């Protein structure tokens, strides 16, 4: 057995402390630099990025060093957003219900920047369908499914087509807390979001062998134009500012509300190398809303016999 005197032990300890300190300092320096540009040299394609969550995510990605292609059916808004976000944003018109449009958006991205690292299938519609299944028009149902589910699958398919040869990539999809528990939205919308979560888990199983990660994000109620339009139909004549207050009032987390930036930061994490071993995951951003249900017992004198 090797014997060391007390002086040698002190010297060895000092050496180890010094090396550990140098290692930690280098690690902190690298981490700090990387944290400033977590998507440096990455290329992202985001559908439904002219407004709302998509726009916030595009801005966050660009701030972190990415080049972003904004794909949206709203051409004027999309072009305005592109101009607002600057030279690292590019726009292409895209209707996700048309597979050829989705394929063209992917091909455009690769032609423009040489590769595709992040595909964010964010576009979605509510369809303004009724809460009662009895009143549901199946043509309206088909429209929602074609956009929210088929459009997402088209995005995954064509992103995979270019990511598999490069054996890397991150595919993200916007689901919803309404796809985690029932009763929060009309059945059509909820069904479409439940389907997205299932799609992500199914496709992640295949694409993991190619180094491609597939995840989704389930936001809580966020006061976007998308949500406020739906709420305006529920509460006709109510001012937009009041609708925002109503939207925020349903949360259970004290002191904060779910905002588009929260979802953008979740997408940033999942799209970055920080999440290099995260796949098949549904990241729920709801302040814990879907994690618990309180038992509000009535007082004995308030319970009917």
Residues 6 or more apart whose Cβ sits within 8 Å of residue 122: 46, 47, 48, 49, 53, 54, 57, 172, 173, 174
Q: Which two tokens stand for residue 273?
A: 């190398």
d(CA 207, CA 122): 19
To the query of whether residue 189 is one of the catalytic residues in this protein, the response is yes
Q: Which two tokens stand for residue 81?
A: 């957003």
Is-contact 200 206, C-beta < 8 A?
A: no
CA trace torsion 234, 235, 240, 246 (10° rounding): -80
Token representation of residue 120: 């964010």
Scanning the chain, the segments in alpha helix (DSSP H) are 6-36, 52-63, 75-85, 99-113, 138-145, 151-166, 187-207, 225-234, 240-249, 260-271
Using CA atoms, how far apart are residues 186 and 208, in angstroms rounded to an integer?
A: 33
Please pick, among 37, 113, 189, 269, the residue that the annotation labels catalytic: 189
- CA–CA dist 23, 3 (Å, integer): 28
Q: How far is CA 217 from the centre of its chain?
A: 4
Phi, psi of 44 (to 5 degrees): -125, 145
φ, ψ for residue 45, nearest 5 deg? -120, 125
Q: Which residues are catalytic?
A: 189
């Amino acid at each position: 057995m090797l014997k060391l005197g007390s002086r040698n032990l002190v010297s060895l300890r000092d050496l180890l402390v010094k090396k550990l300190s140098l290692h930690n300092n280098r690690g902190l320096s690298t981490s700090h630099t990387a944290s400033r540009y977590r998507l440096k040299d990455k290329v992202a394609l985001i559908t439904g990025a002219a407004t709302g969550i998509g726009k916030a995510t595009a801005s966050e990605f660009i701030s972190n060093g990415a080049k972003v292609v904004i794909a949206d059916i709203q051409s004027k808004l999309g072009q305005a957003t592109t101009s607002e976000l600057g030279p690292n944003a590019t726009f292409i018109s895209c209707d996700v219900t048309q597979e050829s449009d989705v394929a063209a958006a992917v091909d455009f991205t690769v032609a423009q920047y040489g590769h595709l690292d992040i595909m964010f299938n964010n576009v979605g519609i509510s369809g303004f369908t009724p809460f009662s299944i009895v009143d549901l028009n199946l043509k309206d149902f088909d429209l929602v499914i074609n956009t929210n589910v088929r459009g997402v699958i088209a995005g995954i398919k064509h992103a995979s087509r270019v990511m598999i040869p490069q054996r890397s990539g991150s595919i993200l999809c916007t689901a919803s807390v309404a796809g985690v528990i029932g009763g929060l939205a009309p059945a059509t919308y909820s069904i479409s979001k439940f389907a997205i979560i299932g799609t992500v888990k199914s496709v992640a199983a295949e694409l993991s062998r190619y180094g491609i990660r597939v995840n989704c994000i389930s936001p809580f109620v966020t006061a976007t134009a998308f949500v406020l339009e739906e709420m305006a139909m529920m509460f006709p004549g109510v001012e937009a500012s009041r609708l925002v207050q109503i939207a925020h009032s349903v949360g259970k987390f004290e002191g904060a509300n779910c905002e588009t930036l929260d979802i953008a930061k979740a997408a940033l994490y999942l799209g970055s190398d920080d999440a290099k071993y995260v796949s098949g995951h549904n990241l729920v951003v709801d302040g814990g809303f879907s994690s618990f249900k309180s038992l509000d017992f009535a007082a004995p004198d308030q319970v009917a016999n």
